[in-house]
Amino acid sequence: MKTIAIVATGGTIAGTGKQGKTVAYRAGEMNVDEIIQSIPMIQDIANIKEYQLMNIDSNEMNPQRWIELSRIINEIVQDEHIDGVVVTHGTDTLDETAYFLTLTIHSAKPVVMTGAMRPATATSADGPYNLYQAVCLATHEEAHHQGVMGLFSNTIYSGRDIQKVNNYKIDAFDQKAFGCLGYMQDHEVYFFSKTFKTHTLNSLFSKSSYHDLPSVGIVYFYAGASCQLLYDMAKNHHGIILTGSGSGNYSEEWLSAINDLSSQGIIFVRCSRVAQGIVFDDDIFDPHHYCISGNTLTPQKARVLLMLALTQTTKREEIRKIFNEY
């Protein structure tokens, strides 16, 4: 039987509240061993090693904790007796952590992230079943070389593209128009596609160790938004993610400010506030090509990639190549 490490970080899956209720709970209250005890059939699937790394609401996740989590997983996967890793995590920022791990884990072993939309004390809590299936997925031979994955509600997602699309239903995740990697039925795994973007072993960023990350902010454009937002953000950040309207668009006032700040060395990435779509280079909204296109990345994931890219280079054209590859 294979051995799977479960690295717990907290979240709703470890949350507790009024018995039976799904609201008004506190995340990160239970230890991982308590959750595992509620899933007796998990012992028939794998030998489990538990790592209670932290126990927090995922809104308390930050770059320093990403670095710590990545470092621990990279240490765990070096153990020849460990066949895969499952990470329990709150759903609110799981997409950001998943992408950071996708870029920084240096292993072909399965790494699966999961969590819950209902606390452990709710009637029909979804966490135990998600965790059970995540362990099953981590033991599967076809899960190797797939990069970091997310597992929710019988569905397998790539760590690059997973995103939370609903804050109410237990089937709360999707990955835009590209489709998921596959599905599960109880313990059975069915892969139908794979991600072709660079990840894990082949990632430039998985070959480095980190103590901190360059500061990158996100600015949201809306009708009438002042360009002062950009100037204020630039005071304390090396790069700025533009969450534009439509295809990553903004006003002429913003364009003028972007041109000015770009000449001062600020790196800009254009993304969109629209849930579906792609942001390409644009000769109208970015005539001098000062901005880097975020492609299919959400603003928060573009921030993750830009922070890591800035650890390697500050040259705009080199960062543009990184965004096209990852």
Tell me the pLDDT tens digit for each residue of 208-228: 999 999 999 999 999 999 999
| pLDDT for the residue 1 | 94
- Percent pLDDT > 70 in the chain is 100
Spatial separation of the C-alpha atoms in residues 322 and 315, rounded to whole Å: 11
Q: 317 vs 120, which has greater pLDDT?
A: 317
Indicate if 12 belongs to the active site.
Answer: yes
Kindly state the average pLDDT of the residues 267-286.
Answer: 96
| pLDDT for the residue 231 | 98
Vertex 70: Cα angle to 64 and 73 (nearest 5): 140
User: Quick one: CA torsion of 200, 307, 316, 277, rounded to 10 degrees?
Assistant: 70
Spatial separation of the C-alpha atoms in residues 153 and 165, rounded to whole Å: 13
177-212, pLDDT tens digit by residue? 778 999 999 999 999 999 999 999 999 999 999 999
Spatial separation of the C-alpha atoms in residues 166 and 152, rounded to whole Å: 13
pLDDT beyond 90 at 22: no
| pLDDT for the residue 176 | 79
Q: Among 12, 93, 139, 195, which one carries the catalytic annotation?
A: 12
| pLDDT for the residue 175 | 85
Kindly state the average pLDDT of the residues 95-111.
Answer: 98
Give bridge partners of residue 16 from the DSSP assignment: 26
pLDDT band at 19 (very low <50, low <70, confident <90, very high): confident
Kindly state the average pLDDT of the residues 77-102.
Answer: 98
Spatial separation of the C-alpha atoms in residues 137 and 183, rounded to whole Å: 10
| pLDDT for the residue 264 | 96
pLDDT beyond 90 at 123: no
- Whether the model clears a pTM of 0.85, i.e. scores above it, the answer is yes
| pLDDT for the residue 324 | 97
Longest dimension (CA), the chain: 62
| Complete DSSP assignment for 299-310 | HHHHHHHHHHHH
| pLDDT for the residue 126 | 93
pLDDT beyond 80 at 21: no
283-318, pLDDT tens digit by residue? 999 999 999 999 999 999 999 999 999 999 999 999
Domains of the chain: 3-202 (3.40.50.1170), 215-325 (3.40.50.40)
- Helix segments in the chain, DSSP class H: 32-37, 63-76, 94-104, 127-138, 228-234, 252-263, 299-310, 316-325
As given in the structure block, the two tokens for residue 6 are 């479960």
Spatial separation of the C-alpha atoms in residues 89 and 279, rounded to whole Å: 29
50-64, pLDDT tens digit by residue? 999 999 999 999 999
Q: Are 55 and 9 in contact (CB under 8 A)?
A: yes
| pLDDT for the residue 224 | 98
| pLDDT for the residue 25 | 84
136-185, pLDDT tens digit by residue? 999 999 999 999 999 999 999 999 999 999 998 999 999 877 789 999 99
As given in the structure block, the two tokens for residue 7 are 């690295």
pLDDT beyond 90 at 20: no
Spatial separation of the C-alpha atoms in residues 223 and 225, rounded to whole Å: 6
